[in-house]
Each structure stands twice: as structure tokens, then as C-alpha cells.
């Protein structure tokens, strides 16, 4: 067993090993354990210190001989250290992480009505932190509590929303704990989910003009505090943002958009090789999904069916992270594709002069003409592309992309 790690029932893909390696310099394992194995885990484990996640933040308390005042007050433990006498000390670094998350966002919760969605896991910590930061009314909304989703309308005047549930977590992307449009006074939304980077909850909040923050900053901040407890040392707060940015970039897709023939595949392959990433061409996956070639899809089923298949493929691909993705030229013609891209990707528009764009083997370019197609899509490309690259050779395009992304 590793000396440091994360205890939980179903851990899946966690960023914690990377984060702890960057901050603490040690290897960090994932300890997936069933509830009936906890006695053995704590009686016979050889670990020095661990973090604890769902569903064990309360269940581990009886194993701790001593608790920090904060952990005792909240009734939740997410950090455990083995003491020299072999006993366990329990602490709560989620409090530090959530407080950092809110303060770093630049939003003051003082005197404001806040809603915390969910009543398990980290929710008690979030409520305590909000009250300690001077929040006004702090409402817990859960499925069966006094305040639930059937009477949520009584709280549409809330200024701050916190999703403390796992709703929207990979691979169940694209769903939100509730619709945010009725919250007309919304100022800030915090989602403790960090994968995907932009959840449906945060997407809706941003559309309302609210500050929208995912849980990665909190994860790194609480890990920084955990490292201090693990190693009995002090670590500068400056490392939090440094590590957050590195982890965010490592797990962010780079999605290339642009006209057919603009060089997305060639540039994408070169970029992926440069960054040591996997390259995915959506046009290569569509025939696999459909069981026929793109040309046959257009000829036998029509463009609408093709677009539906393209969206399904994009949905699957964009749930993942750390990829370089080449999209089809017409991906921008379906509005529902934009949130799929935004959830985990930065979009880069590759622009090539219309006269240089080929039409061979491209059904729509041949049918409508390249110039007409480009003029129709141009506003969409410009709206969707977060960075625009002029294609003047593969190497130069790759270098422009790296510079645009600050790599």
C-alpha cells in the first residue's frame, strides 16, 4: 500500500495523484474500498496519511482518536494522518479549499442569500464556510429536505448557488442539478465538480452573466493544505494557482474548427505530437459510428442524419480530456455542439483563404460551392473560435497555436 492516497468507494478518474505529486513530491494512490472493508483498512493499513472522499467523510470519524476543532465542528473528515503512537488524527481541508475558491473568485458572499444543493459529503463544510464568510441566509436544497426541488421557487432570489452534489460529473456530462434561468439575481455559481471543466450548471450560470467557477481550484487548495498536514510543513499559497493552471491545461482538449480543407487534420496531428497528446479526428469516427462512409451517409440519408451522427460523436469525444480534436467543417451549424465543445475544450479556428480550400471528396463543398459555404459559416466560426490562426504551413500554425495558448 502506498504511504499517501485517497480513500473512497468509487474513485474513477481522479486528478489528486497529479496534484499531490506536484505539491508534495510523493506518489499518491487511489484506495477504492467497500464499506465493509474499512475496519481492516484502518487496522492493518500501512499508509502515513490519506484524504477521504464520498461516501466516507463521516464514516471515518470513529477511527480517529483525535479531530481538529474544525473537523469536530463540521462533523466531516477528509484528511487523516497517522500519529507517532499509531492513532489517527482527522482534519477537514475542504473548508480551506472552498474558502479559497470563493475568495479567489473575487465575489463577496457577505450578507447574501446562498443556496447549497445537496446535503451529504462536503455540503456541511460548504455551509459552515459560507456562514463564517458572513453569508446571509444559507439554504440547503435536497431531494427530501424541507427545502427541495418542488418548492425551489421560494428561493429564486438567491445571489449565490453552490452545487455540492456529483450531478454533472464525467461521464454524466450535460446535466444540471436544476435550471438556473429563474435565478434572476444570481451573482455567482460554484460547482464542486471539476470534470468536466464547464458543467451544465456553470454554463447556465455564465449565460446569466454570473461568475461561474468549477471545483478544480478548491481541489488544489485543499490538497495544498493536506500536504501541509501530511508532511508537517508549510507550503506557499502561490502554488495553488500554479498547479491549478497546469492541471487545467493537461486535461483541456484543444479543438480545431474551420472549413473543410483548412488543415485541421494535418495541423492537429502535428500539434498532438508536439504536446505528447492523443489526436482524434471526428470525421474518422463518424463512419465507424454509422457503419458507412460520410459520402454514403449524405447520399443515402441526407445532411440532417449526418449532423445528428456528428453531434453524437462529438458528445462522446468531448467528454474526455487532454486530446487534440479535429472537428468537421460544419460542426458550427448545430448550436447544440457549442456546449459540447466548451465543457472541456479551448476552440481554435484555423483560417485559410477561400481560394486555397479544396472541394474534392467533400459533399457540401461540391454541392454549394466553397465560397458560398464559407460566407454562410464565417460568422459562426468567428463566434465559436476562441483563438484564430492563419494557416501558413503546418509548423507555423502549430507554433501560433502554442503561443496563443501560452505554452
- pLDDT at position 371 is 85
Nearest Cα neighbor of 325 from 263, 286, 268 is: 268
CB within 8 A of 8, min separation 6: which ones? 30, 31, 32, 33, 52, 53, 54, 55, 56
Nearest Cα neighbor of 174 from 309, 311, 284, 306 is: 311
Bridge partners for 31 per DSSP: 7
- pLDDT at position 60 is 97
- The β-bridge relationship of strands 160-163 and 188-191 is parallel
Using DSSP, state whether 181 is helix, strand or coil.
Answer: coil
- The catalytic site residues sit at 57
In angstroms, the CA 315 to CA 111 distance is 40
At 30, phi and psi to the nearest 5?
-115, 115
pLDDT, tens digit, 9 for 90 and up, residues 233-265: 999 999 999 999 999 999 999 999 999 889 999
- pLDDT at position 231 is 96
Set out the domains of the chain in order of their start, with CATH numbers: 4-92+219-248 (3.40.50.10860), 96-214 (3.40.50.720), 252-404 (3.40.50.300)
Using DSSP, state whether 65 is helix, strand or coil.
Answer: coil
Cα dihedral angle (201, 335, 294, 326), rounded to 10 degrees?
-60
Asked if 78 and 59 count as a contact pair (C-beta separation under 8 A), the reply is no
Asked if 222 and 96 count as a contact pair (C-beta separation under 8 A), the reply is yes
DSSP 8-state symbol, 327: P
- pLDDT at position 360 is 58
Per-residue pLDDT of the chain (407 residues; tens, 9 = 90+): 799 999 999 887 789 999 999 999 999 999 999 999 999 999 999 999 999 998 999 999 999 999 999 999 999 999 999 999 999 999 999 999 999 999 999 999 999 999 999 998 899 999 999 999 999 999 999 998 899 999 999 999 999 999 999 999 999 999 999 999 999 999 999 999 999 999 999 999 999 999 999 999 999 999 999 999 999 999 999 999 999 999 999 999 999 999 988 999 999 999 999 999 999 999 999 999 999 999 999 999 999 999 999 999 999 999 999 999 999 999 999 999 999 999 999 999 999 888 877 665 555 555 556 888 889 999 999 999 999 999 989 999 999 999 999 98
Cα dihedral angle (156, 162, 164, 167), rounded to 10 degrees?
70
pTM of the predicted model, to two decimals? 0.91
Per-residue three-class SS string for 144-160: CCCCCCCCHHHHCCCCE
Nearest Cα neighbor of 263 from 380, 384, 356, 379 is: 356
- pLDDT at position 369 is 67
- pLDDT at position 14 is 86
- pLDDT at position 392 is 85
Amino acid at each position: 500500500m502506498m504511504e499517501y492516497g485517497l480513500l473512497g468507494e468509487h474513485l474513477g478518474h481522479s486528478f489528486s495523484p497529479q496534484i499531490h505529486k506536484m505539491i508534495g513530491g510523493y506518489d499518491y494512490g487511489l484506495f477504492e474500498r467497500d464499506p465493509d472493508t474499512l475496519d481492516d483498512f484502518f487496522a492493518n493499513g500501512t499508509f502515513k496519511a490519506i484524504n477521504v472522499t464520498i461516501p466516507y467523510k463521516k464514516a471515518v470519524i470513529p477511527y480517529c482518536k483525535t479531530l481538529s476543532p474544525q473537523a469536530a465542528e463540521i462533523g466531516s473528515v477528509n484528511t487523516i494522518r497517522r500519529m507517532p503512537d499509531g492513532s489517527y488524527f482527522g482534519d477537514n481541508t475542504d473548508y480551506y479549499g472552498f474558502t479559497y475558491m470563493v475568495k479567489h473568485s473575487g465575489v463577496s458572499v457577505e450578507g447574501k442569500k446562498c443556496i447549497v444543493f445537496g446535503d451529504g459529503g462536503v455540503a456541511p463544510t460548504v455551509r459552515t464556510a459560507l456562514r463564517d464568510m458572513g453569508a446571509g441566509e444559507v439554504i440547503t436544497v435536497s431531494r427530501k429536505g424541507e427545502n427541495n426541488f418542488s418548492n425551489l421557487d421560494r428561493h429564486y432570489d438567491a445571489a449565490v448557488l453552490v452545487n455540492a452534489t456529483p450531478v454533472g460529473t464525467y461521464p454524466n456530462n450535460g446535466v444540471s442539478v436544476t435550471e438556473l434561468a429563474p435565478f434572476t439575481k444570481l451573482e455567482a455559481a460554484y460547482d464542486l465538480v471539476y470534470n468536466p471543466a464547464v458543467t451544465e450548471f456553470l454554463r447556465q450560470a455564465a449565460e446569466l452573466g454570473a461568475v461561474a467557477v468549477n471545483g478544480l481550484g478548491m481541489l488544489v487548495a485543499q490538497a495544498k493544505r493536506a500536504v501541509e498536514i501530511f508532511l508537517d510543513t508549510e507550503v506557499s499559497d502561490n502554488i495553488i494557482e500554479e498547479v491549478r493552471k497546469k492541471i487545467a491545461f493537461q486535461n483541456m482538449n484543444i479543438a480545431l474548427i474551420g472549413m473543410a480543407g483548412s488543415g485541421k487534420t494535418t495541423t492537429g496531428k502535428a500539434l498532438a505530437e508536439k504536446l505528447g497528446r492523443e489526436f482524434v479526428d471526428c470525421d474518422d469516427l463518424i463512419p465507424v459510428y454509422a457503419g458507412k462512409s460520410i459520402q454514403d451517409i449524405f447520399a443515402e440519408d441526407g445532411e440532417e442524419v449526418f449532423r445528428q451522427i456528428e453531434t453524437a460523436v462529438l458528445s462522446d469525444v468531448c467528454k474526455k480530456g487532454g486530446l487534440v480534436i479535429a472537428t468537421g467543417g460544419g460542426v458550427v451549424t448545430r448550436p447544440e455542439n457549442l456546449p459540447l465543445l466548451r465543457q472541456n475544450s479551448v476552440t481554435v479556428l484555423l483560417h485559410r483563404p477561400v481560394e486555397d480550400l479544396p472541394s474534392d471528396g467533400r459533399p457540401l463543398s461540391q454541392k454549394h460551392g466553397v465560397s458560398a459555404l464559407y460566407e454562410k459559416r464565417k460568422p459562426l466560426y468567428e463566434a465559436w473560435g476562441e483563438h484564430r490562426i492563419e494557416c501558413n504551413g503546418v509548423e507555423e500554425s502549430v507554433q501560433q497555436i502554442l503561443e496563443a495558448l501560452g505554452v
